[in-house]
Structure 1
Amino acid sequence: MTSRLLLVRHGETEWHAENRYAGSSDVALTAKGREQGAALGRWAVRAGVDAVAASPLGRARLTAAPAADALGLRTEIVEELREIDFGWGEGRTIAEMATEDPEAVRRFREDAGSGGFPGSEPLPAAAARATAALRALAERHPAGTVLVVAHSTLLRIALCALLGLPLGRYRQLFPRLDNGAVTEIRCTAAGTALYSLNVPTAS
């Protein structure tokens, strides 16, 4: 049987305009971010979603809430879907970090796996918890459709791990996940397939 997982990056946050690394920080949604959540809710009804899961961080829970409400479902909060901790990079922009330590930024841009920011969660650890969580959701809904609201970096790392791609190149292979957009994967006993990327939900 095939499980459909609809992976969604949370709505726009107050740090989005400056492109600050939010990571484990609990940053609020903007008005646009809340509207992206509302649009996702309307879309989820049309998509035939059977279950809703989200990261424990507020920006993901609030993005998922309209879909769960519209479907009459409870959002399952999955701790393992939280965004990675960027350590030294938390709350900073690339430009700010480059001013302080340009070599650290160069290493990160070249290979985010071997050149992660000091104090950040290692990519293999993040990939392991994310893929375990996604596979568990697929196993609990073996022929269903699950809406999963989480975070840009975590989801891109998980996509690399599930598709057999190098984790350290997630930034090059998946340059961005748009806020509120849907990326669909399908999981079977044989493996995982990518069906769509960054599908908008606004009508």
Structure 2
Amino acid sequence: MTGRVLLVRHGETTWNRAGRIQGWADATLTETGREQARAVGSRLVDSHGVDRLVVSDLKRTLETADVLRAVGVGADPERARAWRERNFGELQGLTRTAIASRHPEYHRGGSLLSVRSVAGGESLSAFETRVREGWNRLVDGLGENETAAVVTHGGPIRAVLAAVSDRELATLASEFSPANCGLTEIELSASGPEVVGRDGTDHLPV
């Protein structure tokens, strides 16, 4: 089959701005986040014909999808729990500095996503399995030459990149964190998925 999947991280939230870990906790978009969403929405309208719009069922992604629809993305949103961020349990709401002070094994400059287990939350392996199953369902259900945009979070984007590039998620997660409303493009063909754009940001306001 042929097609394309566009992975979009949600716009900036109040907790992003404060440096707090979100996970499954809900925070609303800032005005900057809405501007970012309008910018990526315009890019999707101008450069891609979006046939399906798949959205994580958390508030920040739903708000981002609402903005995409307002600027002209015509597909009806399909809520999908599989595309949620990882559940970070007792760490949700804390800053990285606070986490490092409570858990000396966590390096403040590292990726929390790569931590194998989190009290009260989701293990790294369970998170990977959930996202990969969501990815497989999406690809299997995509029509010939269709384009799907997925509004999700930094963790699932990196999990998909790790899966399609056959890399370890913990290693890939330590290399970069997707930008708010960054755009990752994956082409689907008979030879398999190919990442043709990773976390593009040239559409975002300076």
The TM-score, its normalising length taken from structure 1, stands at 0.89
Matched, 1:19 2:4: no
Root mean square deviation, CA, Å: 2.3
- Deviating more after overlay: 70-79 vs 116-125: 116-125
Cα separation, 2, equivalents of 1:122 and 1:67 = 32
Q: Structure 2 matches for 1:86-165, cutoff 5 A?
A: 86-103=88-105, 105-106=106-107, 109=110, 113=114, 115-142=116-143, 143-165=145-167
Cα separation, 2, equivalents of 1:106 and 1:180 = 26
Superimposed CA distance per residue, residues 27-85 of structure 1 (whole angstroms, 9 cap, x where no aligned partner)? 11101111111122211111221111110001101111232341332111111111110
Counterpart of 2:11, as a letter, is G
Counterpart of 1:131, as a letter, is R
**Secondary structure in 1 aligned to 2:17?**
coil
Q: Structure 2 matches for 1:164-179, cutoff 5 A?
A: 164-173=166-175, 175-179=176-180
8 Å contact from structure 1 (residues 112, 169) kept in 2: no
Give the superposition deviation at 1:91: 1.0
Cα separation, 1, equivalents of 2:8 and 2:68 = 12
Inter-CA distance 132–44: structure 2 relative to 1 (3 Å threshold): same
Q: Which residue of 2 aligns with 1:192?
A: 193
Give the superposition deviation at 1:141: 2.1
**Secondary structure in 1 aligned to 2:18?**
coil
Q: Which residue of 2 aligns with 1:54?
A: 55
8 Å contact from structure 1 (residues 108, 117) kept in 2: no
8 Å contact from structure 1 (residues 181, 199) kept in 2: yes
**Secondary structure in 2 aligned to 1:16?**
helix
Q: Which residue of 2 aligns with 1:181?
A: 182
8 Å contact from structure 1 (residues 107, 115) kept in 2: no
Q: Which runs of 5+ in 2 are unaligned?
A: none
Cα separation, 2, equivalents of 1:101 and 1:134 = 32
Cα separation, 2, equivalents of 1:136 and 1:110 = 27
Cα separation, 1, equivalents of 2:181 and 2:73 = 17
Give the superposition deviation at 1:4: 0.7
Q: Which residue of 1 aligns with 2:76?
A: 74
Cα separation, 2, equivalents of 1:159 and 1:179 = 17
Inter-CA distance 116–55: structure 2 relative to 1 (3 Å threshold): same
Inter-CA distance 113–100: structure 2 relative to 1 (3 Å threshold): closer
Counterpart of 1:29, as a letter, is L
Give the superposition deviation at 1:114: 5.7
The percent identity for this pair of structures is 32
